[in-house]
Amino acid sequence: MDLDRQIQTLIEKAPRDGSTPQILEAIAPALLLLAQQLQHLDYFILQTANGSWAVKVLSNLKQPGAEKKAIYAFPTFKDASKAATAAFPAGDRAVPVPLPVTHILFQILALETIDSIVFFETPGSVETGTEVTREQVQKLIGVYLQQYRSNPNSNSGNLPPDIA
Each residue of 88-117: pLDDT tens digit?
655 567 899 999 999 999 999 888 899 999
- Residues with Cβ < 8 Å from 99, sequence gap 6 or more? 42, 43, 44, 45, 73
Q: What is the DSSP letter of 52?
A: P
CA–CA distance, 67 with 85 (Å, rounded to integer): 23
Domain residue spans in the chain? 3-155
CA–CA distance, 73 with 121 (Å, rounded to integer): 9
Look up the pTM and report it. 0.84
Q: Mind listing the pLDDT tens digit for each residue in 71-87?
A: 999 999 999 999 888 77
Contact of 111 with 53, CB cutoff 8 Å:
yes
CA–CA distance, 51 with 35 (Å, rounded to integer): 24
Q: What is the DSSP letter of 104?
A: H
